[in-house]
């Protein structure tokens, strides 16, 4: 009697912890504008390799995994990934019935000794619940799965705009000791936005291991709405390959969140050789090239999308030195700043020796 009560308590605790860990994200974007890019954290339970992670999550190319994590492209398939490392997994998201889930990927083949709960909590580190796996795969009895059976693992995601902006939704696994405000600061959003889209009333209720929907700011780009990859949303600190692998685009805060694209030098998946990437109104500039046409004026040949025939380009003029001019006109003249700077250092030095 006592034993079965204990089992019941343990089972309930187990159920509560799985329920609180995994999440479903609201997604009301129409199916036409879904199938968007999304990211989710995967905390490696054991030491592994990039190739094993790529295979587990059904990622087509290693470079897609490297791009999502801003890792060096010369990273090898068999390079080790230590246990408890957090990797961002790129995938395609589909919205249906108000929630977003990965688009019928990754597929997992049931191995001898696997249970649905083991697959959910250990293999996929609680990114999903066994109930969700059972539901999308139409499994009536979660205790009854067959070795060799192919299961689709529904990772949480969304394609919705946030505060009127197109973003990339990132399922962030909350680290121990983190806070909603700290996560908002790190990913350039606000605590209010995070609480609202995650339906959290009290920020103190945040739990380590919880999967939080974090909207990532994507770089502005020149990609036209007629392009096959429109809208090309590349979030901060990641890179992607597009235009049938011919173009590599990178987003970083260092470039003021303007997408930086260049020829990838990879073989195309659609063309025998990549089409010309030369800007039309310029006979010297290729995608990614910049010239200074005059002082304070730069011209960049930007990537602006692709069709099944060609790669589109656009010349983008940019004014480069308005900011420094403004700064030097403000406040103290340069020499006074220097004096202040030296004085502060002298004061600090004094304090140091007086301790």
Ligand X SMILES: *[C@@H]1O[C@H](CO)[C@@H](O)[C@H](O)[C@H]1NC(C)=O
Count CB-CB contacts under 10 A for residue 96.
Answer: 12
User: What gap in Å lies between CA 115 and CA 74, rounded to an integer?
Assistant: 37
- Closer residue to ligand X (CB): 186 or 192: 186
Q: Which two tokens stand for residue 11?
A: 């089972």
Coil vs helix vs strand at 193: helix
Q: Per residue in 36-68, is it b (16+ CB within 10 Å) or e — as a string?
A: bbbbbbbebeeebebbebbebbbbeebbbbbbb
- DSSP E strand boundaries for 153-198: 156-157, 167-173
Per CB under 6 A, 123 contacts ligand X: yes
- Closer residue to ligand X (CB): 191 or 237: 237
Distance of closest approach, residue 340 Cβ to ligand X, in angstroms: 25
List 144, 323, 329, 335, residue binding ligand X (CB under 6 A):
323
Q: Which two tokens stand for residue 184?
A: 């908002």
What residues from 225 to 244 belong to the interface with ligand X (CB under 6 A)?
A: 225, 236-237
- From the list 32-40, 202-210, 281-289, 325-333, the region that binds ligand X by CB under 6 A is 281-289
Helix (H) or strand (E) holding 248: strand 247-251
Which residue has its beta carbon closest to ligand X?
A: 188
What residues from 140 to 199 belong to the interface with ligand X (CB under 6 A)?
A: 186-188, 197-199
Per CB under 6 A, 8 contacts ligand X: no
Nearest to 302 by CA among 223, 189, 210, 240: 223
- Closer residue to ligand X (CB): 219 or 346: 219
List 1, 317, 348, 354, residue binding ligand X (CB under 6 A):
317
- Beta bridge partners of residue 302, listed in sequence order: 314
Count CB-CB contacts under 10 A for residue 3.
Answer: 7
Could you say which DSSP state residue 122 is in?
I
List 97, 144, 325, 326, residue binding ligand X (CB under 6 A):
97
Distance of closest approach, residue 93 Cβ to ligand X, in angstroms: 12
Q: Give the phi and the psi of residue 198 in degrees, each rounded to 5.
A: -100, 0
By CB under 6 A, the count of residues binding ligand X is 42
Could you say which DSSP state residue 163 is in?
T
Q: Which two tokens stand for residue 321?
A: 């030195």
- From the list 2-10, 29-37, 85-93, 291-299, the region that binds ligand X by CB under 6 A is 291-299
- From the list 34-42, 95-103, 333-341, 342-350, the region that binds ligand X by CB under 6 A is 95-103
Per CB under 6 A, 96 contacts ligand X: yes
Q: Which residue do the tokens 């999967």 mark?
A: 211
Q: Are 233 and 218 spatial neighbours (Cβ–Cβ below 8 Å)? A: yes
Per CB under 6 A, 72 contacts ligand X: yes
Per CB under 6 A, 293 contacts ligand X: yes
Per CB under 6 A, 324 contacts ligand X: no
Distance of closest approach, residue 15 Cβ to ligand X, in angstroms: 21
Per CB under 6 A, 262 contacts ligand X: yes
Please enumerate in sequence order all residues whose Cβ is within 8 A of that of 269, keeping only pairs 6 or more positions apart, or say none.
244, 245
Per CB under 6 A, 220 contacts ligand X: yes
User: x/- site string to ligand X, residues 18 to 47, per CB under 6 A?
Assistant: --------x------------------xx-
Q: Are 174 and 207 spatial neighbours (Cβ–Cβ below 8 Å)? A: yes
List residues near ligand X by CB under 6 A.
Answer: 26, 45-46, 58, 60, 72, 74, 96-98, 107, 109, 122-123, 186-188, 197-199, 217, 220, 225, 236-237, 253, 256, 262-263, 266-267, 286, 288-289, 293-294, 297, 299, 308, 317, 319, 323
């Amino acid at each position: 009697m006592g034993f079965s009560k204990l089992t019941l308590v343990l089972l309930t605790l187990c159920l509560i912890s799985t329920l609180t860990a995994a999440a479903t994200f609201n997604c009301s974007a129409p199916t036409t504008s879904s199938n968007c890019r999304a990211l989710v954290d995967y905390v490696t339970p054991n030491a592994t390799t990039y190739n094993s992670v790529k295979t587990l999550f059904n990622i087509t190319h290693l470079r897609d995994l490297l791009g999502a994590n801003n890792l060096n492209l010369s990273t090898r398939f068999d390079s080790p990934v230590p246990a408890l490392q957090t990797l961002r997994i790129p995938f395609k998201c589909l919205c249906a019935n108000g929630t977003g889930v990965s688009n019928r990927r990754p597929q997992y083949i049931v191995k001898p000794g696997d249970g649905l709960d083991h697959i959910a909590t250990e293999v996929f580190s609680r990114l999903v619940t066994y109930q969700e796996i059972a539901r999308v795969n139409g499994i009536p009895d979660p205790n009854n799965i067959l070795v060799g059976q192919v299961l689709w693992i529904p990772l949480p995601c969304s394609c919705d705009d946030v505060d009127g902006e197109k973003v990339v939704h990132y399922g962030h696994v909350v680290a121990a000791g983190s806070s909603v405000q700290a996560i908002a600061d790190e990913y350039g959003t606000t605590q209010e936005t995070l609480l609202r889209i995650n339906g959290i009333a009290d920020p103190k209720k945040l739990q380590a291991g919880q999967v939080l929907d974090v909207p990532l700011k994507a770089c502005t780009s020149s990609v036209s709405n007629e392009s096959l990859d429109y809208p090309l949303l590349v979030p901060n600190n990641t890179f992607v390959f597009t235009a049938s692998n011919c173009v590599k685009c990178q987003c970083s805060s260092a470039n003021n969140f303007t997408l930086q694209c260049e020829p990838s030098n990879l073989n195309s998946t659609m063309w025998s050789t990549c089409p010309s990437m030369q800007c039309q109104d310029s006979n010297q500039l290729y995608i990614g090239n910049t010239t200074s046409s005059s002082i304070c004026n730069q011209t960049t040949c930007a990537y602006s999308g692709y069709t099944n025939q060609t790669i589109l380009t656009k010349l983008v003029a940019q004014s480069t030195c308005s900011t420094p001019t403004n700064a030097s006109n403000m406040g103290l003249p340069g020499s006074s700043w220097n004096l202040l700077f030296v004085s502060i250092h002298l004061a600090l030095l004094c304090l140091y020796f007086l301790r």
